[in-house]
Chains A and B, each alone.
Chain A
Amino acid sequence: MKHSNLFFIELMLVLLFFSISAAVILQLFVAADNRQKQSDRIEMAVICAQSVAEAFSVSGSLADCVGVVFGGMACGDDIHQLEVKLNDDFAAASDGNIILSLSENEKSTQAGTLSRLEMTFEYNEEEFYTIGCTSYTPRQGGVLDG
């Protein structure tokens, strides 16, 4: 009986040790999975930002740029501050859980207009990537006009 009790106590201790180890290892795997998903999101956000920047440099206006890249699926009352909802593939979707906030600042000079576009990507209300780009539109006739 004594041997049997000792055996069970030892067995319980072994099980306790393995349970704690399993919990720690599972936490590590969950963290690795989350890190991989975050890394994928950042990678896709960079590619999406590249498309937006290229379209912005060609069109010179935020509204036209959003129309080209996302098919006009943006919301916002101000044409200089728009939001686009993206799905996990970073395509525009009304029920997307990734939010791209676009903010345009224009500065007019004698030679032309300098437009700065700030892009911010959010997932679950947490910002995970932000980048800015600039587009310069020279005025017709430039400095030589009056």
Chain B
Amino acid sequence: MNGTNKSATSRVLNTFAGMLLFLLFTICMLMMIGAAAATYSRINSGYETTYGSAAAIRYVSNKIRSSDSCKITDDANGIIVTNGSLITLIYMGSGGLYEKNVAIGGDVSQSGGELIIEADALSVIDNGGLYSIIVECGGDRTSVLVRKG
């Protein structure tokens, strides 16, 4: 009888120990998957905000540098650059930066442009001999100074 009881107890303990090991394994794997998912999410969101705002800043600053003349729009949410007989208007529209190309004398209102990059806000400030361009993208705010002329 005692031998039978001991045998049954050891079988139960063996089964329990096996299940415990599987549980431990499962918990470790779930923690690893959680850490990996969090890391991937952080990398992805960091990439989108950094490179989104950096690309927008570079696009606007390169347009200013390559232009013959540049003027800030009345609401400071855009710039009007002139290259020969072509006027390019870059402005902040719904969901991003928009660009519109018109001939001299054409309509330079902030509508009808083409979406070039997604952004939350754009502002251009005249800072003496420099333009200060500020772009907000995904909660991050990036600014750059560009020389006039």
The interface of chain A, by Cβ under 8 A from chain B, is 4, 7-8, 11-12, 14-15, 18-19, 22, 25-26, 29-30, 32-33, 36-37, 40, 43-44, 47, 50-51, 54-55, 57-59, 68-69, 89
Contact = CB atoms under 8 A, between A and B. Distances in A.
B147 A11 contact: no
Given A40-B46, A89-B140, A50 B129 contact: no
B16 interface: no
Contacts of A30: 39
Contacts of A51: 143-145
Interface in B104-147: 127-130, 140-147
Contacts of B61: 50
B32 A25 contact: yes
Given A15-B24, A18-B29, 6 more contacts: A8-B17, A15-B21, A33-B42, A43-B54, A50-B144, A58-B129
Interface residues of B, number: 35
A54 B64 CA distance: 13
Nearest to B53: A47
Contact of B145 (A22, A29, A37, A69): A69
B127 A43 contact: no
B130 A54 contact: yes
Contacts of A59: 129
Given A8-B18, A11-B18, A40-B46, A68 B29 contact: no
A18 B33 CA distance: 13
Interface string B27-61: 01100100110011011001100110010010001
B47 A55 contact: no
3 tightest CB-CB pairs across the interface, nearest first?
A51-B145, A58-B129, A29-B39
Contacts of B147: 54, 57-58
22 contacts: A7-B18, A8-B14, A11-B21, A14-B25, A18-B28, A18-B29, A26-B36, A29-B36, A32-B43, A33-B39, A33-B42, A36-B46, A50-B144, A51-B144, A54-B130, A54-B147, A57-B147, A58-B128, A59-B129, A68-B128, A68-B145, A89-B140
A50 B54 CA distance: 12
A57 B141 CA distance: 24
A25 B28 CA distance: 13
B40 to A, nearest CB: 8
B43 to A, nearest CB: 5
B130 A58 contact: yes
